[in-house]
Structure 1
Amino acid sequence: MTQVEARLSSLLLQEHFGEIVDRVGTFLIRTGSQPLRVIANDTGTSLDQVKKSLCVLIQHNLVTYQLHKRGFVEYTAQGDCYLRILRYPRYIYTAKTLYGDTGELIVEELLLNGKMTLSVTVKKVADRLTETIEDGKNVEYSDVLATFSQLADTHFVQRCPALPDSEETSGTEGRRPQAPTLVTSEKDMFTVPKLTLIGRGKRRRSEDDDEGASHSKRQKRDAGPETSQDDGIYWQINTERFHQHFRDQAIISAVSNKMDQTSSEIVRTMLRMSEITTSSDEAYTQPLSSNEIFRSLPPGYNISKQVLDQYLSLLADDPLEFVGRSGDSGGGMFVINLHKAVASLAVSNLESIVQERFGSRCARIFRLLLRKRHLEQKQVEDFAMIPAKEAKDMLYKMLSVNLVSLQEIPKTPDHAPSRTFYLYAVNPLPTARMLLQRCYQTVANLIERRQYETKENKRLLEKSQRIEAIIASMQATGAEDTQLQEIEEMITAPERQQLESLKRNVNKLDASEIQVDETIFILESYINSTKAKT
């Protein structure tokens, strides 16, 4: 992990888990696998705090452990998982888009807790949904269980290894950790156990109602749902499945922008048919016949089989090569070239970055070098139709920031400049790696800026929160409008303007983080797909 990635991981840990967990997690990132007592000594943290921090990190799949051959336990940081914390809001929003409020709360609870049993998840989500419903209805446990089953069937949630005992997990030296119970097959990872869930979500009661309630009623209200065959089976978010969904959505959007809505709907259907059967690192989807695609199109999409075949032919002949042919049986067999699509998306992002930073002429030269592979400066001037002086300046600008490379090919052994070819080229993979590090640095700067804005206005924020709490309590007791207005006037006009400015700035910073993360995801997917090829 690079220094930029370690810095971003530290900021994310500190923001979500606090300073002590950040100290332990950052130490493991920097030093690699370490035993418990080394972590405690080198971080200057008490043994008890280190144990608790490691429990938190293990619970959220950020740290793994294994028994060393000398008999002690070593803890290792999962660097990629640290950076995925940045993507948690996208996971939650995707679940809300696909499965509504229930799916959103299920994913949110699993992300907040790391690992949870099915019964506990259902109870918490049902309680939270019941509290948000204003008509007094209670959400049935069976409804939440049905949504959870849908998430498992589509592989957005999966089983995880059974949690070891807390004492062994906390790092007691000299003891062998309990071996996790690994899932034996991929099918078992997404199999929801049969549970008997009886009950509904409960609303929170006021303190007066709780004092007047009988002991038996309180026990019944606080009791969880009846379960069977649920002990020891924990569930977690399947981040790879979410990433596969993000990739598919990016491909669909690219096809829609390049061609039209009908083409994107055809590609969406092909991806949906292959989303479970194709793993995230495969180069191609499963071959699908034209007849299968036609039968799987949405019911409201009225296009004939002949029109579908024409669209498939256009997609297969398109220079982007997102869709390819793999046979002629069943009206023609078609696949989606996933690696090619991700590479095209990544190159498009590179071109966009060059254009935003250096202008449209530099982007023209950059696209020219991508297409022609190697060109001399004179050839760049001629093909791009740019004056020699401007082309030279633009090439040197991009060369200085490593967006293009310069290769020397001597005609003679003495490497004389007059007898040497100087060829400019663009290597997308190293360029993508460099820009990925820039994106990590950008996100870290955005987080630090947001923390600075919040710290500078801490007193004003606390005052605003206190006044909002007072107003809420007065509204609950039926206070008059004049009294509420007097409380609201405790915040002066300049302070209110400052609060609005702070809120606007923080919203911009949050939106920028999400947008940069979209670029990060495309570049990461391209780099990983290139590794898979090799």
Structure 2
Amino acid sequence: MADSHTGRLCVQIIHSHFGPITSAISSALLTRGRLPLSQLVRITGYKPRTVISSILVLIQHNLLWHARTEEDGEVLEVNVDECLMRLRFGTFVWQAERLFGKAAAEIVQVILDHGKLRPPDILFHLGIYEPKTITVYTQAIHKLVSTSYLKASTILSHVSPRDKRIQYESEEKSKIVGFPTAKELREAKEVAEARLRREEAEAEQVGLKRKAKEPPGHRAAKRKLVEEEEDVVEDTVYFRVNFDKFNVHIRNSLIVKAAAERFNEGASLVIQSALKVTESSQTSVAEVRSDPISMANIVLQLSSNDDLASGLVLSSKKVSNSTCIKEYLGMLSSADNPTPAGRAGTFVSFGSSKVQVEFEIVGRRLRRRVLEAVTRERHGVRGLRILRLLLDTGKLDEKQVSKVVMMAPKDVRPVLAALAADSLISTQEVPKSADRNPTRTYYLWYVDLHKAYSVILGNLYKTLYNVGMRRRAEMEANEVKAVLEKRERSDVSQDESLLSRLERDILQGWEEKRKRLTVLEMRVEETVFILKDLGVLGINDD
């Protein structure tokens, strides 16, 4: 089950996309957990036919999982991650157009609008009937499927991975003879995880089939063309958008921007070229590092107009791009600082003429920067100084904190209490005796990253919910609502000069407010991506 802030945001997203009935059903599932159909009908008060129709809509859009249990039979559960991903749909369409063109963007848009579709259905909804246009869109579909931006929707994608993981673990544990040891339990869990990943990988490979080769009597040129395009998209398979592949581009853009902020534009160009070389092999944001690449491949990605030497201080004014790239890679890999602090600030690992972009290290640093920014905003420079001390040294008592940060104990105590109230830091009790008497107990302060990131993420979801409510309130104001309804008329939509000057001013004010709220929503969503997608809530952090 999702927490209160996440649940309210999911209900708001579903309400804005599908209406009040589906949002009421989703709210019941989010607040009470997984439920069978009979209880869902009783709780919501809708007719069974209405509830079933709403469930079918949500399943079509991959927002509901369904599983079968021994107690309740078939139960339903909200896919929270899929629901929150709908906030990035506009970004996904923009990325598809930037990568593959307008036809691919239209295909991604229509699939996002319908949840999952077969290739003939995609062409039907787009209204494509001319043979030449059909060829363009068919090639775009093939390109999206072959590069994993679209993946097949199978039966396994409608079952909760948690249920499958529990089932596979129980099957592996049943094979253990006698009382299981900790090592055997860990091995059973690893086997279950590997089995789940293997099934998901096999399911995503569905969708392409081998094209029948032409008979040997044809010309060599035509035979060569057939061999190059022997994989075709199956018309009977339903395809959905692969969000992980699009999230890779968001992660790469954040890394490039972080390199520009840390060093300069030349360093960002080098790391952007390194990411572009391995972009086809990057499938998920959970990857630790990129594939190794050579410096020659980075040189090929740069154009002759890129001035890398302007960001470096070199003895000679005329230097090649290879020399500049080597210098930048030395900076990005912290070659001049081989300490733990230097390794924690690296962007790439550069050794034996091979370069790898360190996704995990950069993600950890981006999450820490968010934590420090929140601490500075709420508790000032003093709170930030204490937080950085605890992050770097670990557990300390109040006297040690006061001594190291060079602040009086009377000033440190309220700051520690305020940081603990916001869950940015936590306490560890170390009793001197077995009775755990508070007077004979040490209290050590430290930073629980998982807890801190969870609280910040909950506040970000609350902010996104408030932004959505503000947008709805602005849109449903009497004067704005009347102008928007008038603009939807066929005559006004063709000629907006039919609107009065006052109505145009109201419309312009509403568009300005909506633009500002959208920009705010995008900034908050970027922070959510850093905390949630670039690391499972800081579990992998030190």
- Normalized against structure 2, the TM-score is what? 0.74
CA distance in 2 between partners of 1:139 and 1:322 (Å): 50
The correspondence of residues 2-81 of structure 1 with structure 2, limited to 5 A, is 2-67=3-68, 73-81=74-82
The correspondence of residues 176-255 of structure 1 with structure 2, limited to 5 A, is 185=202, 188-189=205-206, 191=208, 230-255=234-259
CA distance in 1 between partners of 2:64 and 2:443 (Å): 48
CA distance in 2 between partners of 1:394 and 1:192 (Å): 63
Q: Give the match for residue 139 of structure 2.
A: 146
The question of whether the paired residues in 1 share the 8 Å contact of 2:119 and 2:235 is answered with: no
CA distance in 2 between partners of 1:423 and 1:72 (Å): 49
CA distance in 2 between partners of 1:118 and 1:358 (Å): 54
The correspondence of residues 43-192 of structure 1 with structure 2, limited to 5 A, is 43-67=44-68, 73-125=74-126, 140-161=133-154, 185=202, 188-189=205-206, 191=208
Query: What amino acid maps onto 1:423 in structure 2?
Result: L
The correspondence of residues 337-352 of structure 1 with structure 2, limited to 5 A, is 337-352=358-373
Q: 2:499 aligns with which of 477, 488, 498?
A: 488
Other structure's SS at 1:76 match: strand
Deviation at 1:522, TM superposition (A): 0.9
Worse-superposed segment, 306-315 or 14-23? 306-315
Deviation at 1:312, TM superposition (A): 2.0
Q: Give the match for residue 482 of structure 2.
A: 462
Query: What amino acid maps onto 1:188 in structure 2?
Result: Q
Q: Give the match for residue 177 of structure 2.
A: none
Q: Give the match for residue 521 of structure 1.
A: 529
Q: Residues 336 and 101 from structure 1, CA distance in 2 versus in 1: closer, same or farther, beyond 3 angstroms? A: same
Q: Residues 30 and 460 from structure 1, CA distance in 2 versus in 1: closer, same or farther, beyond 3 angstroms? A: closer
Q: How many residues align?
A: 461
The superposition leaves residues 478-504 of structure 1 with CA deviations (integer Å, 9 ceiling, x where unpaired) of xxxxxx86x433x6x4x6555444433
Q: Residues 533 and 153 from structure 1, CA distance in 2 versus in 1: closer, same or farther, beyond 3 angstroms? A: farther
Other structure's SS at 1:374 match: coil
CA distance in 2 between partners of 1:463 and 1:370 (Å): 54
Deviation at 1:232, TM superposition (A): 1.9
Other structure's SS at 1:402 match: coil
Deviation at 1:59, TM superposition (A): 0.9
Query: What amino acid maps onto 1:356 in structure 2?
Result: E
Q: Give the match for residue 426 of structure 2.
A: 405
Q: Give the match for residue 313 of structure 1.
A: 330
Q: Residues 190 and 268 from structure 1, CA distance in 2 versus in 1: closer, same or farther, beyond 3 angstroms? A: farther
Q: Residues 71 and 442 from structure 1, CA distance in 2 versus in 1: closer, same or farther, beyond 3 angstroms? A: closer
Deviation at 1:294, TM superposition (A): 3.7
Worse-superposed segment, 139-148 or 4-13? 139-148
Q: Give the match for residue 271 of structure 1.
A: 275
The superposition leaves residues 62-116 of structure 1 with CA deviations (integer Å, 9 ceiling, x where unpaired) of 1233455699544332222122222222222322333343333222111101111
CA distance in 2 between partners of 1:235 and 1:72 (Å): 28
CA distance in 2 between partners of 1:187 and 1:55 (Å): 23
Q: Residues 33 and 426 from structure 1, CA distance in 2 versus in 1: closer, same or farther, beyond 3 angstroms? A: closer
The superposition leaves residues 409-454 of structure 1 with CA deviations (integer Å, 9 ceiling, x where unpaired) of 4566787888765433222221001111111111112212222222
Say if 2:304 is the partner of 1:287.
no
Other structure's SS at 2:82 match: helix
Other structure's SS at 1:283 match: coil
Q: Residues 529 and 386 from structure 1, CA distance in 2 versus in 1: closer, same or farther, beyond 3 angstroms? A: closer
Query: What amino acid maps onto 1:12 in structure 2?
Result: I
Deviation at 1:359, TM superposition (A): 2.4
CA distance in 2 between partners of 1:467 and 1:126 (Å): 26
Q: Residues 13 and 296 from structure 1, CA distance in 2 versus in 1: closer, same or farther, beyond 3 angstroms? A: same
The correspondence of residues 294-309 of structure 1 with structure 2, limited to 5 A, is 294-297=299-302, 301=306, 303-309=320-326
Could you tell me which runs of 5 or more consecutive residues in structure 2 were left unpaired when the two chains were aligned: 158-198, 213-231, 308-319, 335-341
Q: Residues 460 and 297 from structure 1, CA distance in 2 versus in 1: closer, same or farther, beyond 3 angstroms? A: closer
The question of whether the paired residues in 1 share the 8 Å contact of 2:385 and 2:405 is answered with: yes
The question of whether the paired residues in 2 share the 8 Å contact of 1:162 and 1:234 is answered with: no
CA distance in 2 between partners of 1:65 and 1:92 (Å): 28
Q: Residues 530 and 488 from structure 1, CA distance in 2 versus in 1: closer, same or farther, beyond 3 angstroms? A: closer
Query: What amino acid maps onto 1:337 in structure 2?
Result: E
Query: What amino acid maps onto 1:255 in structure 2?
Result: A
CA distance in 2 between partners of 1:372 and 1:163 (Å): 45
CA distance in 1 between partners of 2:471 and 2:389 (Å): 39
The question of whether the paired residues in 2 share the 8 Å contact of 1:322 and 1:336 is answered with: no
Other structure's SS at 1:140 match: helix
The superposition leaves residues 99-153 of structure 1 with CA deviations (integer Å, 9 ceiling, x where unpaired) of 343333222111101111223324544659x9xxxxxxx9823223333333334
Q: Residues 34 and 379 from structure 1, CA distance in 2 versus in 1: closer, same or farther, beyond 3 angstroms? A: closer
CA distance in 1 between partners of 2:323 and 2:473 (Å): 60
Q: Give the match for residue 478 of structure 1.
A: none
Could you tell me which runs of 5 or more consecutive residues in structure 1 were left unpaired when the two chains were aligned: 131-137, 165-181, 196-227, 476-483
CA distance in 2 between partners of 1:35 and 1:419 (Å): 52
Q: Residues 66 and 80 from structure 1, CA distance in 2 versus in 1: closer, same or farther, beyond 3 angstroms? A: same
- Normalized against structure 1, the TM-score is what? 0.75
Q: Residues 466 and 239 from structure 1, CA distance in 2 versus in 1: closer, same or farther, beyond 3 angstroms? A: same
CA distance in 2 between partners of 1:367 and 1:533 (Å): 15
The question of whether the paired residues in 2 share the 8 Å contact of 1:66 and 1:74 is answered with: yes
The question of whether the paired residues in 1 share the 8 Å contact of 2:278 and 2:290 is answered with: yes
The superposition leaves residues 468-525 of structure 1 with CA deviations (integer Å, 9 ceiling, x where unpaired) of 73753785xxxxxxxx86x433x6x4x6555444433333222222211111111112
Q: Give the match for residue 210 of structure 1.
A: none
Deviation at 1:366, TM superposition (A): 2.1
CA distance in 1 between partners of 2:34 and 2:50 (Å): 18
Deviation at 1:17, TM superposition (A): 0.5
Identity %: 24
Q: Give the match for residue 256 of structure 1.
A: 260
CA distance in 2 between partners of 1:183 and 1:153 (Å): 17
